[in-house]
Amino acid sequence: MEDAPESILVYVGLDRFGDGLMKLPFVRALRATWPKARVTWLAGKGETVYAGRLGGLMTGLIDEIIQSAGIGLAPQELLKRPLPGRRFDLILDTQRRFLTSLIVKRIRHTRYIAGTAGWLLSDARSPRREKPPGMIRQMLDLIEAASGQPAAPGRARIALSPEIERQAAQLLPDGPSYVGLVPGAGDRRKCWPRGRFIALGQRLDAPVILLGPDETEWHAELKGALPGALFPFQATALGADPALSLAVGRRLKVAVANDAGMGHLLAAGDCPLISLFGPTPARKFAPFAERLTVIEAQSFRGDEMAAIPFEAVSGAVEAHLRG
């Protein structure tokens, strides 16, 4: 492993909410690899959700955030030094546009790591011969190229406030083996039939239904079909707050989720996850979790979520509960 850097700059274009959720394993692995480094997150082309809605999860992981910096946009930037007066021991450039990489590399640094153009501009490269399809795996390759060791997100836990932990404990008291069910997704094509989630919940001793703001209209239906289920986000004014979602996820024995942001958030909290995929490729979008079961419609000769049979999901849940 190279000498540990004292200062690290991570360059991204921008981070929308979904991007930020998917990148949480990278942020955790970054801190786990270099626990004493000062990490600066630079959003060169727009805003980052790490300065907004997900900001509360960044405590201890990111030390400084610069957003809407106007870096990496135009060729004339090559004529000057971005971030004048700043220097970093290590730059991790997470995007692959050649012009942008040339501009980012002009920030003063000791080492620069980027996968652009087959690692052409990078001071070190990934040992992988082919670019992995998943964005997170590509980002973790940057850490591995720079450090010379495997990236391990699980070694850096996302810190939550004691108050959030207390609220989660009140919503899901100790005792039962809770199973989380996440029936929603921003794209309804990615939703496993709701009736099958209901049938699954009816088999469970302690179902926990996680409904986001776009699924509140389902609350009455699900509550009527599952009178013994808990609906933690409907029982608190915080709703599906990211920190509370993560704290609730830590109290689940396992969760079943569609390809949606909540799945990535639960995985970031180290919740064992059964992730369901249909129209989107799991190899590209699956959450990065140490305890992950992926069930794809394509395994059952279909590409719609309804192709995933009930028995495949219920069997996976039973296996997690046994193990």
Residue 29 near residue 143 (C-beta atoms within 8 A): yes
Give the pLDDT score at 2: 63
297, 233, 202: which is closest to 259 by C-alpha?
A: 297
* Element holding 109 (H helix, E strand): strand 108-114
Q: Note the pLDDT tens digit of each residue in 229-266.
A: 999 999 998 888 999 999 999 999 999 999 999 999 99
Give the pLDDT score at 129: 81
Q: Which of 134-138, 173-177, 270-274 has the lowest mean pLDDT?
A: 134-138
For the segment 178-199, the average pLDDT, to the nearest whole number, is: 97
Q: Note the pLDDT tens digit of each residue in 9-39.
A: 999 999 999 999 999 999 999 999 999 999 9
**Distant-in-sequence, close-in-space partners of 195: CB < 8 Å, separation ≥ 6:** none
For the segment 202-215, the average pLDDT, to the nearest whole number, is: 96
- Each residue of 101-110: b (16+ CB within 10 Å) or e? bbbbbbbebe
Domains of the chain: 7-155 (3.40.50.2000), 162-322 (3.40.50.2000)
Q: Note the pLDDT tens digit of each residue in 269-308.
A: 999 999 999 999 999 999 988 899 999 999 999 999 999 9
Give the pLDDT score at 1: 52
Q: Note the pLDDT tens digit of each residue in 220-230.
A: 999 999 999 99
Give the pLDDT score at 289: 85
- Average pLDDT for the chain: 95
Cα 71 from chain centroid? 25
Residue 184 near residue 170 (C-beta atoms within 8 A): no
Give the pLDDT score at 154: 86
Q: Cβ–Cβ contacts within 10 Å for residue 70, how many?
A: 11
Task: Report residue 173's pLDDT band, with 50, 70 and 90 as the boundaries.
Answer: very high
Q: Which DSSP letter does residue 187 get?
A: S
Q: Note the pLDDT tens digit of each residue in 71-106.
A: 999 999 999 999 999 999 999 999 999 999 999 999
What's the angle, vertex CA 111, arms to CA 110 and CA 114, rounded to 5? 150
Pairing of strands 207-209, 87-93: unpaired
Give the pLDDT score at 3: 82
Paired residues of 318 in beta bridges: none
